Amino acid sequence: MLEVENLHVSYGAIRALHGISLKVPKGSIVTLIGANGAGKSTTLRALSGLVRPAEGTIRYDGEDISKFSPNKIVAKGLCHVPEGRMVFANLTVRENLHMGAYLQRDKAWISDQTDYVFSLFPRLKEREKQAAGTLSGGEQQMLAIGRALLSKPQFLMLDEPSLGIAPLLVKTIFERIVEINREQGLTILLVEQNANLALDVSSYAYVLETGRILLHGPSADLKANPEVQAAYLGA
């Protein structure tokens, strides 16, 4: 579904990605793991059109989207839930969700999908009239994922969904990520510093180090790899 070849990204004179290549098959959950500064978030920013690659191609369903604008990429069905959640603090939970549906015209679908998000995250239903800025970090992460689902995505990119969230809510959010993948058939590319969680929910993984792919393979194999265990799993 998504194929990245020889992707280079620079911020001025600083090269953040050094020719990475990766594939995300349709219907799968693939994860990128690595330390802070490895280039994980930059990868997602390039895929969503927020930064322009210096070299390389990004193919989605066979089409090169590497020069597409972010709004055109969203219209193609790729949606990015950024690190830090970035909810609209002064809008209510329901209003935030409907901001995600700005490209959608089918009111019945929007209503049904809103109900689906509330079934996934009952806390959001309880707080639907509450300002998003008053929610906890975990609730805001639920809202950011829910807002993305209202854009009718086919491919969902999640950047550090566990960051700054209480462990109990992290467990809930990752269970819902798996549920979304299974029930809605969404392809998911997950960037996550909690390598244990990421490898548990994904089928394939890439290890990124200083802008380069260091290792890749089935998630279970990487979880058993002594190098990965020592560097990322606390073994």
Query: What proportion of the chain, given as a percentage, has pLDDT over 90?
Result: 73
pLDDT tens by residue, 16-44 = 999 999 999 999 999 999 888 889 999 99
The yes-or-no verdict on residue 235 having pLDDT over 60 is: no
Give pTM, 2 decimals: 0.91
The yes-or-no verdict on residue 108 having pLDDT over 90 is: yes
Burial 215-225 (b: 16+ CB within 10 A, else e): bbeebeebbeb
Determine the structural domain holding residue 91 and report its residue range: 2-232
pLDDT tens by residue, 166-199 = 888 888 889 999 999 998 899 999 998 889 999 9
Q: How confident is the model at residue 205 (pLDDT cuts 50, 70, 90)?
A: very high
Determine the average pLDDT of the residues in 94-117: 91
Residue 178, pLDDT score:
94
The yes-or-no verdict on residue 85 having pLDDT over 80 is: no
Residue 234, pLDDT score:
66
The CATH code of the domain that includes 75 is 3.40.50.300
Residue 68, pLDDT score:
93
Closest C-alpha to 28, from 146, 159, 206, 155: 155
The yes-or-no verdict on residue 232 having pLDDT over 90 is: no
Closest C-alpha to 125, from 117, 135, 113: 117
The yes-or-no verdict on residue 4 having pLDDT over 70 is: yes
Residues whose CB is less than 8 angstroms from the CB of residue 207 and which lie 6 or more positions away in sequence, other chains included:
33, 34, 213, 214, 215, 216, 222, 228, 232
Residue 223, pLDDT score:
93
Determine the average pLDDT of the residues in 88-94: 94
Q: What is the mean pLDDT of the chain?
A: 92
pLDDT tens by residue, 61-79 = 999 999 999 999 999 999 9
- ∠ CA 62-37-82, nearest 5°, is 55
- ∠ CA 186-209-32, nearest 5°, is 10
Tally of domains in the chain: 1
Residues whose CB is less than 8 angstroms from the CB of residue 102 and which lie 6 or more positions away in sequence, other chains included:
151
Determine the average pLDDT of the residues in 160-164: 86
